[in-house]
Amino acid sequence: MEALHVMMERAKTTGTFMGVKLPGDGLTLTHMFFADDSIFVGDWEENNLKNLKRILRCYYLVSGLKVNPRKSQLLGVGVDEEEVSDLAKVFNCKAGNFPLTYLGLKVGANMNRIIYWKEVIDTLNKRLSNWKARLLSFAGRVVLVKFVLGSLPNYYLSLYKCPIAVVKVLEGIRRKFLWGVVAQTKR
């Protein structure tokens, strides 16, 4: 990934790939990496996208690491869906749309809306089951609620302000589990 970073920085300085200029200090963003996940950000121009494809092809030839088209998406901000679909075909990937999930977080969603917190609520509910509540002592449930169920939503809460209604739902789930009452899931 370090080699790809160097290639992207060189492409930015030579003007081969045009990133997005951020306000303030004028930093230009072209890419973000986390482990083996990558996001490339740039001007929406066909030539810019083709240059990105060339850079990724060179990276493949040098490193042997190839972009997985089944896991890749092309998204455009303020761009017609048909144009996104056409250029996604050039990349041999899917045309994506917002909101998307990246590293487990919603990107491009209005997190003030309760519906986008459903994933967090569902994750918390999945961690609970009837047998856990029945088989654990009260002290065991306290430890689970405090350290596990308390930390699960923290990833989201570190980036997004949570609506009060969602906080009440999350606290209700934790409270019911603590006292040994787990909601029956409908199948």
**How do residues 57-102 score in pLDDT, each as one tens digit?**
999 999 999 989 888 999 998 899 999 999 898 888 999 988 888 8
- Among 76, 100, 124, which residue terminates a domain? 100
Whether 95 and 113 map to the same domain: the answer is: no
- End of a domain among 50, 73, 100? 100
Q: Count the neighbouring beta carbons within 10 Å of the beta carbon of residue 94.
A: 17
Q: How high is the pLDDT of residue 165?
A: 94
The closest alpha carbon to 99, from 82, 124, 119, belongs to 119
Is the domain of 124 the same as that of 69? no
Distances (CA, A) of 105 to 24, 108, 109: 26, 10, 10
Which pLDDT score is estimated for 15?
Answer: 93
Whole-model pTM: value is 0.70
Q: How many helices (H) and strands (E) does the chain have?
A: 8, 8
Residues 50 and 130 placed together within one structural domain of the fold: no
Apex 90 CA angle, 57 and 31, nearest 5:
55
Residues 131 and 167 grouped into a single domain: yes
At 111, which helix (H) or strand (E)? none
Amino acid 187: pLDDT:
41
Domain range for 165 is 105-178
Are residues 95 and 110 located together in one domain of the fold? no
Q: How many domains does the chain have?
A: 2
Q: Which residues of the chain have pLDDT under 70?
A: 129-132, 182-187
Do the domain assignments include residue 23?
Answer: yes
Q: Do 76 and 9 share a structural domain?
A: yes
Question: Is 43 within a domain?
Answer: yes
Query: For residue 94, which phi and psi values (nearest 5 degrees)?
Result: -85, 150
Residue ending a domain, among 100, 127, 160, is: 100
- The answer for 66, left when phi > 0, alpha when psi is -120 to 50, beta otherwise, is beta
User: What local confidence, expressed as pLDDT, does residue 186 receive?
Assistant: 44
